[in-house]
Structure formats: C-alpha cells, structure tokens
Chains A and B, each alone.
Chain A
Amino acid sequence: MTSPTTTQLRKTALNAVHRRLHAKMVNFGGWDMPVEYSGILAEHMATRTAAGLFDVSHMGEIEVRGQDALDLVQHVTCNDAAKLAPGQAQYSGLMTAQGTFVDDLLVHHISGTHYLLCVNAGNQEKDFEYICAHNRSTTQVENAGERYSQLALQGPKALRILQRFTTVPLESIHYYHFTSGAVDGVNCLIARTGYTGEDGFEIYFAPEYSEKLWFNLLEAGAGHGLLPCGLGARNTLRLEASMCLYGHEIDDTTTPWEAGLAWICKPEKGEFLGREVLILQKEKGVERTLVGFEMQNRLIARDGCRVSIDGKLSGRVTSGSPAPFLKKNIGMAYVPPAFEAPGTTITIEIRGNQAPARIVSMPFYKRPK
C-alpha cells in the first residue's frame, strides 16, 4: 500500500480553520491533521493545568442498531458490554480470532438496541468491514464517521468552560458516562471521556456546527487558559497517562494480557472472538508484557528502539517521549515478564548509545482528585 499524497488526505470540517490558525499539519492515518498550534509543551501544560481543545473529528464512529445489537458488540469485543447501563461507555478491544487487537475503541450504550462505537481514524473502514463480516443477525451496522464531528475539551477547567454552553448539569455526568443535550444550541452527545488523563468531555455532533462550537469554546475558554491543541500534545498527554495507542502498544499481534489491559478482557462474559486463545494464554502466561520506564540520563527513547536486559536483546520501545508535565523522559516497552518489576534496570539503544532506563509502575501521571 502506498501512502496517500496531500491531495488525497481526508479532512475534518475544521481543516480550513486549522490552517487559518497556522497549525502545523501532518498526515495522521490518512488524515490531514493539526500536530501543534502554539507548541506541544505549551499545549500539554495548558491541558494539565487549565484546558485544551482538540479537534478529534478524524475518529471513526460506527453505529450498531437492532434487537441483537448487544450480541454483536459482545461477539466482536473483549470487554463486557452487558455491564453497561444506557448512558454508560467503556474502553474495549475489537478482537481477532487470535485474541489480538483489530482496534481499540469506546463502546457507548445508547439504548437497549443501539450502541455507538468510537474507533481509531486510520482503522474505521477496516473495523466497519470486520464487524459487518462477523454480523450473524439482521443487526444494522453503519459506518457513521461522516455524520459526526468530535471535539475533546480536556483539563481541570473543562467542566467550567463547557457548562456555560449547556443546561445539562455536567457535574452529574460521571466519568465514562454520557448524555445527549444541547451545547450552544447544537444537539450533542456529551461524554465525560478523554485521552489525556484529565477530567474532560468529548462531544459528538453534526459537522456543520464545527466552526461555531470550536470558536465559541475557544473564546469562552481563553480567560481560563484554554489553548487549541494538536495531536502532538494529545500523544504526550496520553503517554504520561499510560494510555495505549493503536499501532504502538497494541496491534493485531498483541493481546490484552500482554498490553496490561486485563481490565478490559472478560472471558467470563461468554463467547467472543479470540476468547479461547485468550483463556489459553492466561493459563500459560504471556511471553512479553508492557512496562513503563524512565530514562536515567538525558537521552530520549523513541518508538522502535531496542531494549536489552543483562546484555540480551529483550524487546522494543513502543512509545517514547519527553513527558512535559513530569519533566522526565519516559516511554513504554515490551519486555519478558521476568523483568517487569519496577526498579529493574533496562538498557535502551539510542543512536548507538546504550542508555540506562528504570522500569517504573504505571500510570506515570495520575491527576489529583
């Protein structure tokens, strides 16, 4: 497969706005997306200490409707969607028959016969086709990405900024819950979810209202320190919060047990794709496990760097970056489980240097309650 040229890149409804604001643009999963506006460090810190506004309209939405909607969701995902009350969301994995990730996703239980899946931008067609191929009933599956824009308003001031635009009492929406309601007069699904480690909201709405919501939120938040944020800060924020990124920590070769995602893998719920393999792997034990590390010198590990332990090649870095809030150089890597204990010293090959790093427990960053 060749990578698409600039003219073939997909654009969100805010593409012209990003360019007008002189955002630095990159090709992300086939989408022309802003990587930064004022700078990753400033945007990261604004989100940790005040608020950040992210255009995440590239994310895919897949709607599942019908009497057997829950059965289909349960069949293709590893978390237990039956536990969700209407108005509740969960993080889950779309599973191959080998118990590896087709994608990771958020499952929103809208009603007994309706689920909204939020999936990764670059995976949405693949996910849609995969779910359709495993649909054994008359359940309706819709690739609905084009009907939605999505904004993420994240950070300790997010609630206060958003509350000015809605009569929905936002404090009453619990973490990983959502409701429908008007924001600035626009019908939205308002979810208290995010990918930053902060309190915040992700709102889903019709694309034609994107500019109005973007500018009104930015204007209302300016006095609170809100900054528009790009995918660069989104990545450093999720890494500090130790959240997985598809294509890095997880892909179709990694299982939930290996990725530290046992909390979203529920074989006890009954049949789903990959369940048998996952039960077997749990009994046998994994051969590698995802760990977090801190560099012990000023070098920065990057994705793909080789990890050695006791002189033996033992794994690879999946994500590595400076952590702007923690002011350390951190990363995640796969290592054999024998070496997963915090405090273990590993060696990371960075441009020919053997750089020492120490395994630490995750998450690196946990927001103050």
Chain B
Amino acid sequence: MYPSDYRYTKEHEWIKMSGDTGTIGITDYAQHELGDVVYVELPAAGTKITAGQLFGTIESVKAVSEIYAPVSGEVIEANLALSNAPETVNSDPHGAAWLIKIKLAAPAEASKLMDAAAYQTFISDKEKETSA
C-alpha cells in the first residue's frame, strides 16, 4: 500500500527522492480522511518552501485541509493537471496525484522522515484510537 521507496510525515505527506529533487504528495490515509477532493491549490514554480510550513491547500466537499512541506527547497514544478481533475488525489494519491516537485535545499533532510514501515505503524495506531 505505502511505497517502500517513499518517506512520510506525521501530517500525511510523502516524498519520493531522486538525486537532489523530490516529488511530494499526500498519502492514501490522508485522501481517505479528506473524502472527495474538489479543489487543489499549489505554489508556482520558483516558490521557496520551508519544512513544516504550509505550501498548499486541498479541499474536499466537507472541509479544507492545509498541506505542509516535508522538507525545504524550491518548487520546480506543480501538478497543474490536478486543477481540472482534483479527484485524482482520491484515486491515485501515491502516483498521478503528486502535488509538486522540488529541488531540496538539503537532500539529507528527507532521510530523517519516516519510512513506509514506520508510517504504517503510525497510522495503525491512529486508527485504533478512532475505532475504540
């Protein structure tokens, strides 16, 4: 379910590294929590983002949700296809619905994030809390 070559945050973003660039999206858990996504707002190429800071907005029928940057860097591309097909975030959150590609300020930053196994444990614990 959660690709083993991605890294994950407690705010339910993922990042896939390739050299000093990273592709960022939200996890399947996050899209499920949001419900039907109807609007995605992303930063333009060239925007500087900072780890832990807001960089975009995903809106579902029910609510608006902020997206936090897992790492610092500069946006090199935003997934413009999502503005006409926001529902892709629900159907393919780990693939076609990537949000932005960034050039990392410090590529080592990504290795401090959770790996797939740690993230899986993290969300299993969350699910136990809510189904009690």
Interface residue ranges, A against B (CB under 8 Å):
6-7, 19, 24-25, 35-36, 39-42, 232, 236, 298-300, 302, 321-322, 324, 351
Tally chain B residues at the interface, Cβ within 8 Å: 17
Cα separation A62 to B33 with both chains bound (whole Å): 35
Interface string of B53-75 (1 = CB under 8 A from A): 00001011111100000000000
Instruction: Out of A7, A41, A302, A351, name the residue touching B132 (CB < 8 Å).
Output: A7
Taken together as a complex, chains A and B put the C-alpha atoms of A345 and B88 apart, in Å, by 33
A19 and B127 CA atoms in complex are apart in Å by 13
Bound state CA distance, A7 and B39, in angstroms?
34
In the bound complex, how far is the Cα of B130 from the Cα of A39, in angstroms? Answer: 19
Dominant SS among interface residues on chain A: mixed
> Bound complex: CA of A232 vs CA of B60, how far in Å?
11
Q: Are A35 and B62 in contact (CB under 8 A)?
A: yes
Q: A299-B39, A300-B64, A322-B38 are in contact. List 6 more A-B contacts (CB 8 A).
A: A24-B33, A35-B35, A40-B60, A232-B35, A236-B61, A298-B39
CA distance A25 to B127 in the complex (A): 12
CA gap between A39 and B35 in the complex, in Å:
6
How far is A39 from B131 in the complex, measured between Cα atoms in Å? 19
Instruction: Classify the interface of chain B: helix, strand, loop or mixed.
Output: mixed
CA distance A25 to B129 in the complex (A): 13
A300 near B62 (CB under 8 angstroms)? no
Task: Indicate if B36 sits at the interface (CB-CB under 8 A).
Answer: yes
Given contacts A41-B36, A298-B39, contact A322 B61 (CB under 8 A): yes
Q: Which 8 A-B pairs have the closest CB atoms?
A: A40-B61, A41-B36, A322-B38, A39-B36, A40-B36, A232-B62, A322-B61, A300-B59
A351 x B57 contact (CB < 8 A) = yes
Q: Which residues of B contact A351 (CB under 8 A)?
A: 57, 64
Residue of B nearest to A298 (CB): B39
The interface centre, meaning the residue of A6, A7, A36, A322 with most chain B CB atoms within 10 A of its CB, is A322
**B59: which A residues are within 8 A, CB to CB?**
300
